[in-house]
Amino acid sequence: MLVLNTPLFIYAQGVPKAFEAYDYAGAVDGRLVRFNLADGYIGASYIQLFLTAGKKPLKFEPDAGTPNENNQLKFIPFPESRSGYFLLHNVQAVYDNLPSRITGYYFLKNKKTRVRLVLIVSHKH
């Protein structure tokens, strides 16, 4: 058996991300909603619903890696034990022209609430 005395070095290399993140903001029943749109990798997008100031927000993630045939994407709670979900319209995997606003609905306990999210800032990844 041959054993090498040369130390093995493993270098972690950063993997470049092939998407840009854009932040949108809106409200549901007076509560802040933040949507992080990952343009180019829509599956990395997420929604945060802030119930009370100073508390950790509820997080919602896409239930699929791509929008459906009607360009809608459903965001379910994470962890899944929570109730409610968002359904956003006109969601695309990649945008040629980023929308200034995105609309949809928040569903909770047989109640459907309209959501309007407005672009506030972008981050390059």
18-69 pLDDT, tens per residue? 678 899 999 999 999 999 999 988 999 999 999 887 789 999 999 998 999 9
Q: The whole model's pTM is what?
A: 0.80
Does 4 have pLDDT greater than 60? no
Yes or no: say if 75 and 85 are a contact pair by the CB < 8 Å rule.
yes
Yes or no: say if 77 and 58 are a contact pair by the CB < 8 Å rule.
yes
Yes or no: say if 45 and 65 are a contact pair by the CB < 8 Å rule.
no
Delimit the domains of the chain by residue range.
20-119
